[in-house]
Structure 1
């Protein structure tokens, strides 16, 4: 029983350390001229709509039935967020079934410059 408790404490500590290492810094970031974000709160100062792109890092914890240490599965989930002209938006955290342990915004492009596919909402 003591071994199991020790394993669980070590696993929990490793998980917390990993989440701290992956968590982004809340700094202002310019994604495109006129489109800037402070953390996940973004502003568009342009006369046209933009689409913001990035990635959430998600973790799912699986507890084996035999009482051994948990297994962690990491997955990157894409972020696409529309932002209308002269407006602000906060990108909602989201992982389908897992927990967000990190994220990063990579770019913003004018929505009119993207190909119209019908499947991505633009």
Structure 2
């Protein structure tokens, strides 16, 4: 009898939990503020602020389904629409290490790539006076 009561209580609890979770609002990431949007190869800013938009050029290795991504940024001024050109797809570099040991050189191959699409991930208010992030490279 106790096991049957325990089983019924467990089922009722699961139904209650599923009902409550089903009614709860779903959290959604909103990387773009209201008034800023990007789609395909264009971005639009209907606000009074300038935005920096983080974008990704997707590139397919020619002859395969493999893709790489190259990050870039787009600046969109207030009440402006811009056509986004993306960036040039770099070749995909493959380094083959010799199985004969360290005395034999590695071979490097470059596979050509082609653009497939542009993805957009985030829009933030652009501050040209913000400190620049150091990359560690000279120049």
CA deviation vs aligned residue, 1:18-66 (integer Å, no higher than 9, x gap) = xxxxxxxxxxx982221112322111111111011121121344xxxxx
Alignment check: 8 A CA contact 1:44 1:83 kept: yes
Residue of 53, 60, 82 corresponding to 1:89: 82
- Give me the whole-angstrom Cα distance separating, in 2, the residues matched to 1:39 and 1:31: 15
1:40 lines up with 2:41 in the alignment: yes
Name the SS of the counterpart of 2:48 in structure 1: coil
The runs of at least 4 consecutive aligned structure 1 residues that moved more than 4 Å come to 70-73
Name the SS of the counterpart of 1:112 in structure 2: coil
Alignment check: 8 A CA contact 2:37 2:45 kept: yes
Question: Over the residues paired in the alignment, what is the CA RMSD in angstroms?
Answer: 3.0
Flag structure 1 segments of 5+ consecutive residues without an equivalent. 1-28, 62-69
Aligned residues: 83
Q: Which structure carries more strand by proportion?
A: 1
Largest Rg, 1 or 2: 2
- Give me the whole-angstrom Cα distance separating, in 2, the residues matched to 1:60 and 1:50: 31
Calculate the TM-score normalised by the size of structure 2: 0.48
